[in-house]
Structure 1
Amino acid sequence: MSAAPRASVRALVVDPSASAAVRLAEVPDPVPGSDQALVAVSHASLNYGDLNDARSGRVPVGAVLGSDAAGVVVRAAADGTGPAVGTRVVALTSGAFAERVAIGVGALAEVPKDLDLARAAALPVAGVAALRSLRAAGLGPGKRVLVTGASGGVGRYAVQLAARAGAHVIASVGSAARGEGLREAGADEVLIGLERLQRPVDVVIDNVGGPQLVAAWNLLAPGGSVQSVGWTSGEPAVLPPYATVGPAKSLTSFVIEGAVTEDLAALTELAAEGLLSVEIGWQGSWDRFEEAAEALRGRRISGKAVLEVASGELPAGG
């Protein structure tokens, strides 16, 4: 049974005049395309990229923000593909911070019954970025893998996934407090900064950028790869002369592209089985978006910030 359309839904939209450049507003009820499912969102997670998108102009003023969402399918895709009505799903899609979102079936995955939707919502951007960047870098048993900004969402997933693959994992954080739990997650070494790291590494998953990216490049072994996933430092990276002259190694920009269903399914299965820990450092109503944004920007959160969407379930008859 499909849901009857409503004139509008609430959503978090970009507004430069708001203190966090985001506010709750009414937007038109989405109209799904033939290959899109309509999802009633119950939880969404906040990423550094969302905060940047709200201020950079990449997401236009008045447009719905967000990429990570979890909820229930209330209208299946008209072309017969994708999950059925009533299926609990997780998604990586633009405009995720709304009560209802039309989502392409290639951006959805069913959530296993043993995984709650709050934890599922914390997986898409950070989990897929960790999984794909490690894959692109040539992860394998015995590789020395450095993860910078390891206390954040991408970092914690990268540490766990690299450890599961048999790598020697070095987690770099900004303070001792932010390193808590990383050894339990699979890190063989937890360092504050990179000053104490002497031996070369084969893979770098860099979430920090700036001078730390330069230091990581200098630590990279011949044939190694740096995956530039994030840039939370906001600082420029200045390479000294001849830093890029020598044995072949690579610095690769990273972005998530294409269908993500298979990767989301793999991540949610690992989480449901207890093989991938989902750490939520902040959780609360999306009315408290400013509080969540300040905590994330101020690096007071280890792991993910999860927003509870006020009406993830549609009212009866509506």
Structure 2
Amino acid sequence: MPVHALVVDPSAPAAVRLTEVPEPVPGPGQVLVDVSHASLNYGDLNDARSGRAPVGAVLGSDAAGVVVQAAADGTGPAVGSRVVALTAGSFAERVAIDVGALAEVPKGLDLAQAVALPVAGVAALRSLRAAGLGPDKRVLVTGASGGVGRFAVQLAARAGAHVIASVGSSARGEGLAGIGADEVLIGLEGLRRPVDVVIDSVGGPQLVAAWNLLAPGGSVQSVGWTSGEPAVFPPYATVGPAKSLTSFVIEGDVGEDLATLAQLAAEGALTVEIGWQGSWDRFDEAAGALRGRRIPGKAVLEPASGGVDAPRLSPQN
């Protein structure tokens, strides 16, 4: 029987429409999951508008829920297991997921919190790892109030680094010192000393400024581009002592990293900030708040309607 899902539709206000799609058929190494929560990322919004996801494709990357059919090859979690996953097409009531793309959710961790971990948490963890994080490093996190930024601040602080959190306003910086930021700056104002690592999700002129602050041997990891502005490097900006600007994308199985993040969150060692939570038929509201940078942390969607007084997306065929 068909299931409800959010699909790409360029004619819709947020380029996303709630409709019905065929129920997924899992492959031998996949489990079937009833999705209780999904989280929204900037990348999902860009996929819907940029053409990277074709018209009619189910949107989404982050999912959490319960396994209703185990993998036919005997791998992965059993029926009834609570899981979190990074998988394409997560904005559906039921999703077939590769066992390497998920992790079981520990007791004590709510699925609404777990679902904030996949894209943002894995991006933060892996970009810091790729940049050579260590206790002697000065780490600059731009867009630090967002999903990736908040996790990067916490993970860098746990590693003993000196963490500098850059935000767009004083309001956006609230709470960052409490989760590990040694300095909280508006933009890069007042930052004079070089930094060893930059986790950048803003792009544009701020990326150029961050590059200019990078110490010899340092690394900029470009994990996002929320500014939507071009980055123009002045002549000779890339000539001099060796340092690197690396494009970042999540590749390969993420199950092990997801399990690490979920365990940290369950222990209270990693704080999950949810700035918006509601039914997925309020997708336009969530998308607008995310694009308008009115959400600290993550936006969490629940694939169930009813009981919420707000403009809704109407299911269409």
**TM-score w.r.t. length of structure 2:** 0.96
Amino acid at match of 1:111: V
> Which residue number corresponds to residue 241 of structure 2?
247
Distance 2:237 2:52 in 1: 32
Matched residue pairs, number? Answer: 305
> Which residue number corresponds to residue 102 of structure 1?
96
> Which residue number corresponds to residue 126 of structure 1?
120
- Cα distance, 1:195 vs. partner? 2.6
> Which residue number corresponds to residue 273 of structure 1?
267
Extract unaligned runs of 5+ from structure 2.
306-317
Please, which of 280, 287, 290 is the counterpart of residue 284 of structure 2?
A: 290
Q: For residues 19-98 of structure 1, what are the structure 2 equivalents within 5 Å?
A: 19-98=13-92
- Cα distance, 1:287 vs. partner? 0.7
**TM-score w.r.t. length of structure 1:** 0.95
Specify the SS of the correspondent of 1:266: helix
Specify the SS of the correspondent of 1:146: strand
- Cα distance, 1:293 vs. partner? 0.2
> Which residue number corresponds to residue 215 of structure 1?
209
Amino acid at match of 1:234: G
Distance 1:261 1:176 in 2: 36
> Which residue number corresponds to residue 161 of structure 2?
167
Distance 1:140 1:32 in 2: 41
Amino acid at match of 1:123: L
> Which residue number corresponds to residue 181 of structure 1?
175
Specify the SS of the correspondent of 2:113: helix
Extract unaligned runs of 5+ from structure 1.
1-6, 312-318
Specify the SS of the correspondent of 2:269: coil
Specify the SS of the correspondent of 1:170: strand
Matched, 1:309 2:309: no
Distance 2:40 2:54 in 1: 18
> Which residue number corresponds to residue 107 of structure 2?
113
Specify the SS of the correspondent of 2:154: helix
- Cα distance, 1:310 vs. partner? 1.2
Distance 2:34 2:274 in 1: 22
> Which residue number corresponds to residue 136 of structure 2?
142
Distance 2:112 2:17 in 1: 22
- Structure 1 stretches of 4+ with a deviation exceeding 2 A read none
Distance 1:282 1:23 in 2: 20
Distance 2:135 2:217 in 1: 16
